Structure 1
């Protein structure tokens, strides 16, 4: 081996080069050959590993090996082969320059640390992608855990590189690092808070990827598309992306619509305001007229019989309409809306259906519709709710009622 190491040296001496020049030229020639060997070995190793992994991936039923290839794990592992060859050949290339050998060997060791970290990163990215394909894990913040682990590994790698460069004792370095932990905690405060938040979110199942959440403080209203160590990404319904600190999930209030999404319907809760002065008792003639409304025919017939029987038994003086029991236009309208909603094809009949009065306001008496649409999709939900209120508002005049309007109210 020594003869080969000095082969070019002897050749250059025969060409009448000085000994010093021959040594340098010999080193350069050996380095050129080493670079060719490195390139060829890297190429062959990559080809062999990629072919082996690709063949295995095609025959395997699991997606994990496919993900290993897509995340370049075989390609990164292949770099180990030329690295080993280089370390073995350094004594030959620098046989006459041991100080150069030490410096290059140190650089290669540093590269080795970085390469190992890069391989681990590729494997962790593969695990992350694989876990997201599992139904029970795809909505978990896997990204946060991977990022924390990589952060820890990079810190260890940087520490190891620092030890190699300075030559200090490893124990001394980490002792000093422990003493500086307060500074590190301050530097990585957001990272630590994000990690703690992501763990709490996962344990308590507060937020999942794919959940629709609303955070008014940050103007976020949309679907969670990613939970990272430091940020939570939300795609709003206008297709914009809002990034908020992950730690805000445990420090700020937000609304998660998952319960609605998993339920049988989406809630409709809206009121129309009736002018109080338009509310009155119904005369018999008006009741007969309202019986023409098919949803009210049976109800009004039965109610009218009950009321007449009650008034007769109690000798109510019906010359004054307020005496005894009476139907009101608002009460009949409320019953009509209740029947209309109960018969609406887009309303979930297994969930609460209610039409109720709210407390009177200076503008009038609110009549609230409370129900759940079977279709929870936003666009369809809005269409169903609009359809119900289109009909309800248009039906108001049939009962002798009036809606509150600011212009008409202020004008009186």
Structure 2
């Protein structure tokens, strides 16, 4: 700056005006150099760095590039240049230095924020991230860094030691606890959720209190995001998963089987003993032929052993159409290719009710995909409903308008 001032004085410019013009010239030069340095850094250096990162065999550094860590780091270059030119303004040097320091603090915080985001992205590429997410912990570190950055910036402005501000914050701990209540609750909840392996990204959970029924897509410090099956997003406070009850379907997903638990209601008026004609017909059914033969031998042996007169149907033992039908459904479910062979398979009668006798199918499909599961369940019950009349059984159904229309018309009196 002195060189420019002396040059202007030699050219006949007054001393005061020379100092003023020299200051303007330094500011312009500093601005041009800063812009040029920033341009070179972003257009040349960053392009070289980006090309190298994109074409090397490592993948983790791509996340640093995607999160613009190096782009934000390049903003330090203008600050270094301005720091060098600040010595030309001795009267304002301390003020300029404070501005540069605050600017550097902001840049460093932005760089660290982007770097922590990249670390979380890299961690999420590993399978362990599903059961042990670190996003909540990353957010806690960010809060801590921004608090420290704010303290350093304020202490630089007022010219006091950061220790004084930190001791003042200690006195306001109760207020701080109130301000960061949700963050603290979220942190504690995140630790418990992670330690106890209660939820993972990708888990299907149900939480009626919050209207959530779908897959977890994100777990953060404060919230857990659930994408419902209607594609809406429900946001649940992290601590609510600790304090409230919810259902996690991960056990079903890990087991590889999805439960079918549905009943067909049989009209009890259609239940009765099997006639010889019916038994002859049932023997021709592939799934029942062996069962009928074994059952006939068993019943005959029992009746002979106990000297029972079989001409009266209520004496001794006899086959019923509901029993044969149940045996058929058991075998049909067992041989179905989409039913899990390693899990429970039951066809049972429940307590009779006003709607008839419930015949419940309890089994698991070997495919947990929702669409496949519903298709398998529908196929099974389609068949059961269609085949029930072959056993002389009627499925219960409340009378409809069409049923009343089919009744014979009663003449008017």
**Shift of residue 15 of structure 1?**
6.9
Determine the C-alpha separation between the residues in 2 that align with 1:143 and 1:188.
17
**Separation (CA, whole Å) in 2 of partners of 1:276 and 1:49:** 85
The 3-state SS of whatever aligns with 2:95 is helix
Q: Give the Å deviation of 1:49.
A: 4.1
Q: Distance in 2 between matches of 1:170 and 1:289?
A: 94
Q: Which runs of 4 or more aligned residues in structure 1 lie more than 6 Å from their structure 2 counterparts after TM superposition?
A: none
| C-alpha displacement of 1:369 | 0.6
Alignment of 1:269-348 (within 5 A): 269-348=261-340
User: Which blocks of at least 5 consecutive residues in structure 2 are unaligned?
Assistant: 405-413
Report the 3-state secondary structure (helix = DSSP H, G, I; strand = E; otherwise coil) of the residue aligned with 1:214. strand
After TM superposition, the structure 1 stretch with the greater mean CA deviation from structure 2, 159-168 or 366-375, is 159-168
Q: 2:189 and 2:353 mapped to 1: Cα distance?
A: 44
1:19 Cα offset (Å): 4.3
In 2: Cα distance, 1:62 partner to 1:255 partner = 40
Q: Which moved more, 1:145-154 or 1:278-287?
A: 278-287
| 3-state secondary structure, aligned to 1:406 | coil
Offset, 1:378: 0.6
Counterpart check, 1:267 vs 2:267: no
* Equivalent residue, structure 1, for 2:144: 152
Question: Which sits farther off after the overlay, 44-53 or 26-35?
Answer: 44-53
CA distance, structure 1, for counterparts of residue 248 and residue 177 of structure 2: 31
CA positional deviation for 1:47: 4.6
Q: Paired residue for 2:135?
A: 143
Whole-Å Cα distance in 2 between the matches of residues 113 and 214 of structure 1? 44
User: Is 1:129 aligned with 2:125?
Assistant: no
Give the Cα–Cα distance (whole angstroms) in 2 for the partners of residues 263 and 34 of structure 1: 67
Partner residue in 1 for 2:407: none
Cα distance, 1:206–1:49 mapped onto 2, change above 3 Å: farther
1:110 is matched with 102
Matches within 5 A, 1:12-411: 12-13=8-9, 19-47=15-43, 49-58=45-54, 60-92=56-88, 94-95=89-90, 98=91, 100-138=92-130, 140-407=132-399
Q: What is the TM-score normalised by the length of structure 1?
A: 0.91
Note closer, same or farther for the CA distance 1:16–1:360 as it changes in structure 2 (3 Å cut): farther
Cα drift, residue 195 of structure 1:
1.6
TM-score by length of 2: 0.90
Structure 1: tracts of 5 or more residues without a match: none
Deviates more, 1:235-244 or 1:274-283: 274-283
SS at match of 2:367: coil
Per-residue deviation, residues 113-163 of structure 1 (Å, max 9, x unmatched): 111111111211221111111233355322212111111111111122222
1:183-217 CA-to-partner distances (Å, cap 9, x unmatched) read 11111111111122222222222111122222222
CA distance in 2, matches of 1:70, 1:76: 12
Q: CA RMSD for the aligned pairs?
A: 2.2
